[in-house]
Amino acid sequence: MNLKQLSELLGLSQTTVSRALNGYPEVNEATRERVLQAVKETGYRPNKAAQRLATGKAGSIGLVMPTAPDHQSDVHFGEFLAGLGEEAVRHDFHFVIMPADPDDEVAALRRLAISGNVDALFVAYMRGHDPRLAMLKSLSMPYVVHGRSFGSEPDYPYLDIDNEGAFYDATRLLLQLGHTRFALMNGPMHLDFAIRRKNGVLSALAERGLTLEEGCTSHALMTDEQGLLAMEHFLQLPERPTAILCSSTVLALGAIRAVNQAGLRLGEDISLIAHDDVLPLLKPESFSVPLTTTRSSLRAAGVRIAQRLIGTVKHAGPFPDQELWKTELIVRASTGPVPQA
Amino acid sequence: MNLKQLSELLGLSQTTVSRALNGYPEVNEATRERVLQAVKETGYRPNKAAQRLATGKAGSIGLVMPTAPDHQSDVHFGEFLAGLGEEAVRHDFHFVIMPADPDDEVAALRRLAISGNVDALFVAYMRGHDPRLAMLKSLSMPYVVHGRSFGSEPDYPYLDIDNEGAFYDATRLLLQLGHTRFALMNGPMHLDFAIRRKNGVLSALAERGLTLEEGCTSHALMTDEQGLLAMEHFLQLPERPTAILCSSTVLALGAIRAVNQAGLRLGEDISLIAHDDVLPLLKPESFSVPLTTTRSSLRAAGVRIAQRLIGTVKHAGPFPDQELWKTELIVRASTGPVPQA
DNA sequence: AAGAAATTTCAAAGCGCTTTGACAGCCAAC
DNA sequence: GTTGGCTGTCAAAGCGCTTTGAAATTTCTT
């Protein structure tokens, strides 16, 4: 069933039927009713490809999903998508996901943009000096970046959380509790958030004339296993750190296992603060020793970015170009005063 | 830059350029070279919407993502997507993801199918007597179901793992170790896999004249927290179970925490077998007490389903309509002989 | 009652691509 | 020297929709 058939059925022209469906004013109310009724009965749906070709609008947001045979999937991706989806469903938008090898991301993004398949782009997993930014700027298609790109001029639309501030505050809390030996379990080194979090830690430490000792920083995928390995490493150091900052509750999971296996007590022998993306998967408050965290909902960020993207496509009011969300520092039992040697 | 402009640039007709690009034989090799060269220089990409409109082919797979403000995202979704993507990227396919309220899934799937945006559909989160099956059959569009629908005639294309067999085998192992008091921590009750896993457990128990006692089954979202709660409940029962079957390593995580908090030892006081979807997030072999698991890679299933879907769209050879994958039973340290009272 | 204005409707063009059917140009064959 | 078969190219139609500009109809003015 297409427009032509439907209009013949109704004895109207395609024009009138199209206008009736798209809410144009110059169509008789009685006629519109008749059209709507026929649509209901026939189950007619406009062909999206044709609509897109005619209008140039696709009703969809594009994103590139990094993937490859050896590429590990990331829990955070799904959670973020849930946020985007929550907003998209309200506007009858959908997503076009282009899977791409991580090495091919710039090109993939470009292909997606000029394919005519999407109205706007969403970009994540930002790196320092990210090459995608230049490409996006040349594109004349709306986009929003989740995160930022350290080292690039911040003249692009983004939504980010204050990673540096979060880890600065967390470090200050641990300093106030008397800790002096710190370690940082971070995400992959090239990612922007990892750079900023490290900077946050370093600047808080610097205020006290401290720094991260040799071997007290780890960069790894944020999985349980990597958390375990990193912590085991820290615990073997001659000058064992007593304060751990951790980029994810998933890493914390493995880290805590290592602490327990070493016969140490979390919140007493070792204090730990993790960043909590509010994954439904893992609630820091229900850990054996509830976790002190810096918190910011990844999903909420997804909702907000979808709002901005869809709003821009629909020309619905101006949106702030750049948003930096503060995180909350929530103190629970995994932090305590430095143990007396 | 569109076909028309490109062909004018080359002094050729659109026909010839189009044929040159799509590998038709009736075009001079020299001409083809010239066209390819021009494409490289201009960065021309065909407009997908137009291509789709002309050919009816979209080069994309559609899926519905359940979402709603209160709907929890699911780790397994992301992992599965990674598998689909790994295969899709090889064929230059992409995904169209339509977010939809879980109550609206049948309609959303229908909209997606007749939108002309996709060539094939992928369907997951199957339930017992799933209403989507009838819809899919009426659609004349290729689709593959991940999982099955208990209670429906199995005359649709699917890929599933042998959930019943997996949990039957796991239960048998525990029976052989002398256990008689069992509990099952399962996924949401309406989901097909949960039904089959329970059946697997029950049929193994029935062979010994045993059954799941009152209060020894839990159905919940597969999160850490739910695992903790369910296990706490089991441990408080007057006749405490000694053998636990668990539908996910994520649930197991919380469950093990409860075991530890109760001062019990996993693999000695309590034996546990979990199903392992091979999430990069969580490796059962690196748990404090390595987990005995039934294993089947979710990601591999994604790859395979994408193969079948894309292959069908491209008319590349016949594919088996129905595949049932056996799981592996991997014995590690979380299972042991029943403790002597 | 006639003309102006507003309301409804329509035919046709166009979005960018693929594909059909026709047509030159060329060589081999009888 | 006509016929026939190839090869390489093209003009034009069509995919299903939106939108422009004009036409038909109704309603309002004077």
CA distance B27 to B12: 12
CA distance A202 to A182: 10
Mean pLDDT of B8-23: 92
Residue B244 and residue B179 in contact, taking contact as beta carbons nearer than 8 Å: no
Q: What pLDDT, on the 0 to 100 scale, is given for residue A26?
A: 87
What's the first-to-final CA gap in chain A, in angstroms? Answer: 79
Q: What pLDDT, on the 0 to 100 scale, is given for residue A20?
A: 93
Where are the domains positioned within chain A?
Answer: 3-46, 60-160+299-325, 163-296
Q: Which residues in chain A have their CB less than 8 angstroms from residue B283's CB?
A: 223-225
Of A239, A164, A156, A228, whose CA–CA distance to A194 is shortest?
A164
**Facing B73 at nearest CB: one of A79, A89, A250:** A79
**Facing A115 at nearest CB: one of B45, B71, B221:** B45
If residue A160 lies in a helix (H) or strand (E), which one and from where to where? Answer: strand A158-161
Give, in order, the Cα–Cα distances in Å from B290 to each of A70, A328, B170, B285, B328.
Answer: 24, 35, 16, 5, 16
Backbone angles phi, psi at A46, to 5 degrees: -65, 145
pLDDT tens, B89-145?
Answer: 999 999 999 999 999 999 999 999 999 899 999 999 999 999 999 999 999 899 999
How does pLDDT run along chain A (341 residues), one tens digit per residue?
899 999 999 999 999 999 999 999 889 999 999 999 999 999 999 999 999 999 999 999 999 999 888 888 889 999 999 999 999 999 999 999 999 999 999 999 999 999 989 999 999 999 999 999 999 999 989 999 999 999 999 999 999 999 999 999 999 999 999 999 999 999 999 999 999 999 999 999 999 999 999 999 999 999 999 999 999 999 999 999 999 999 999 999 999 999 999 999 999 999 999 999 999 999 999 999 999 999 999 999 999 999 999 999 998 888 999 999 999 999 999 999 999 86
Q: What pLDDT, on the 0 to 100 scale, is given for residue B70?
A: 82
Checking if the pLDDT of B285 tops 80, the result is yes
Residue of A89, A110, A259, A298 to mutate, testing the B interface (most B Cβ within 10 Å of its Cβ): A89
Report the distance from CA of residue A24 to the C1' of nucleotide D26 in Å, as an integer.
19
Q: What pLDDT, on the 0 to 100 scale, is given for residue A340?
A: 87
Q: Considering chain B, what is the average pLDDT of its residues?
A: 95
The answer to whether the Cβ–Cβ distance between B115 and A45 falls below 8 Å is yes
CA distance A281 to A20: 46
Q: Which residues in chain A have their CB less than 8 angstroms from residue B111's CB?
A: 45
Residue of B51, B63, B97, B121 to mutate, testing the A interface (most A Cβ within 10 Å of its Cβ): B97
Residue B125 and residue B160 in contact, taking contact as beta carbons nearer than 8 Å: no
The answer to whether the Cβ–Cβ distance between B225 and A53 falls below 8 Å is no
Report the distance from CA of residue A117 to the C1' of nucleotide C23 in Å, as an integer.
37
- How does DSSP classify residue B275? E
A271: Cβ contacts below 8 Å, ≥ 6 apart: A174, A177, A179, A242, A243, A244, A292, A334, A335, A336, A338
Strand D neighbours with CB under 7 A? Answer: A 2-4, 14-15, 18-19, 21-22, 45-47, 50-51, 53-55; B 11-16, 19, 26-29, 31, 50, 53-54, 116
Q: Which residues in chain B have their CB less than 8 angstroms from residue A59's CB?
A: none
Query: What six digits make up the tokens of B27?
Result: 């075009």
Same topology, domains B3-46 and B60-160+299-325? Answer is no
Helical H runs in A237-291?
Answer: 249-261
Nearest-neighbour CA in chain B from A155: distance (Å) = 26
Q: What pLDDT, on the 0 to 100 scale, is given for residue A143?
A: 97
pTM for this prediction: 0.93
Q: What pLDDT, on the 0 to 100 scale, is given for residue A13?
A: 92
Side chain identity at residue A177, one-letter code? L
Architecture of domain B163-296: 3-Layer(aba) Sandwich (3.40)
Instruction: Name the nucleotide with the smallest C1'–CA separation from A16.
Output: C9
CATH of B60-160+299-325 among 3.40.1390.20, 1.10.10.10, 3.40.50.2300, 3.40.50.720: 3.40.50.2300
Q: Which residues in chain A have their CB less than 8 angstroms from residue B224's CB?
A: 281-283, 286
Backbone angles phi, psi at B150, to 5 degrees: -60, 130
CATH of A3-46 among 1.20.1530.20, 3.20.20.70, 1.10.260.40, 1.20.20.10: 1.10.260.40
Mean pLDDT of B307-332: 94
Residue A46 and residue A1 in contact, taking contact as beta carbons nearer than 8 Å: no
Compare all CA atoms of chain B with the CA of A302 and give the residue at the minimum distance.
B69
Query: What six digits make up the tokens of A7?
Result: 């209009």
Q: What pLDDT, on the 0 to 100 scale, is given for residue B68?
A: 85
**Facing A94 at nearest CB: one of B79, B96, B228:** B96
Checking if the pLDDT of B341 tops 80, the result is no
Q: What pLDDT, on the 0 to 100 scale, is given for residue A316?
A: 84
Report the distance from CA of residue B52 to the C1' of nucleotide D8 in Å, as an integer.
27
Mean pLDDT of B32-57: 93
- Report the protein residue whose CA lies nearest the C1' of nucleotide C13: A54
Angle between helices A249-261 and A224-236 (to 10 degrees): 50
DSSP state letters, B94-154: EEEEEEE-GGGHHHHHHHHHHTT--SEEEE-S-BTT-THHHHHHTT-S-EEEES--TTS-S
DSSP state letters, B22-86: TT-SSS-HHHHHHHHHHHHHHT----HHHHHHHHS---EEEEEEE--TTPPP-HHHHHHHHHHHH
